[in-house]
Amino acid sequence: MSIAPYAPSTTTTLPAPRAAALRDAFASGRLIRAAGAHDGLSARLAEESGFDAVWASGLEISAAHGLPDVSLLGMAEYLAGAVAMHRSVEVPVVADCDTGFGGSLNAAYTMMRYEEAGVAGVCIEDKIFPKRNSFVNSGQKLLGVEEFATKLEAAKRAQVSTDTVLIARTEAFICGLGLQEALTRCHAYVDAGADAVLVHSKAVDSHEVMSFMREWEHRAPVVVVPTTYADFSADEAREAGIAMVIYANQGMRAAITAIRDTWATVLAQGSTAAVEPRIASVKDIFAISGMDAWLEMDR
């Protein structure tokens, strides 16, 4: 999509009803469940399924472009994906903004552009730009605590609406730096203005995030992404006091498997007859995309 040059707003606040809803949900103490998506359709399917929010996944957006999640795309592509999701659903969209796409000025500009687009939450992580996906086994490097705190401060100063949620993501566990480093970083990030912290882990069980929760004492809402510790339940998250659980990429992974199976069957059998009973109808696509409402507008 074409993005106009940014011009600072002359108003003191921006209307952000979904940002306010997200902030209220964090404040309420109830568990927020978010589903990863990469475009309007995948976001709408997440909303249709009953998720409380949509995670504009950097991994999914990169993969949808046929590229790995190693900072090859720029803010324009990620923002376009988040905007498409925001326009397609009524639940809050939380954007995975990687490292803020550069230094402190880039982080500030990221906040400006995502906020003016209506995105409810912006998540920035403490890796060095360019970053690699957390599940790549090499090249994981973190910014110094003070340098990343400065980046968060810049993003917060650029924020216009008091409702927009800034989430600071630490990759301390991903880099093998342990509990104390994760705690030190998250305390510094909240001091710098973060509204919530995302504590990422690729352990095979939940022991890292649970150890963090025991020591954190609920200073700010905590977000987790249980990709590798898949048996971690919503009930366990609630009991631990976790604020948000993000199922960041399962939707895309399920779609890849289904599409592969479908095309393999079509090629093997020479027609689509065998797959038609188990795939969505064209009418279903019309319904999801709001065909009837658009045709009504044209009458």
First to last CA, the chain: 28
Max CA separation in the chain (angstroms) = 63
CA 211, CA 39: separation in Å to the nearest integer?
Answer: 35
Helix (H) or strand (E) holding 252: helix 250-269
CB 63 within 8 A of CB 96: no
Residue 69 is a catalytic residue: yes
* Per-residue DSSP letter, 125: E
Place of tokens 């504590």: 199
CB 36 within 8 A of CB 249: yes
Q: Dihedral angle at the C-alpha atoms of 142, 144, 146, 152, nearest 10 degrees? A: -20
Closest to 107 measured CA to CA, from 54, 71, 157: 157
Sequence letter at residue 207: H
**What sign has the CA pseudo-torsion 199, 203, 208, 213?**
positive
CA 95, CA 36: separation in Å to the nearest integer?
Answer: 10
CB 258 within 8 A of CB 251: no
Q: Residue 208: is it exposed, middle or buried by C-beta count within 10 angstroms (0-12/13-18/19+)?
A: buried
Backbone angles phi, psi at 292, to 5 degrees: -60, -40
For the chain, what is the radius of gyration of the CA atoms? 20
Catalytic one of 69, 96, 163, 195 = 69
Catalytic residues: 69
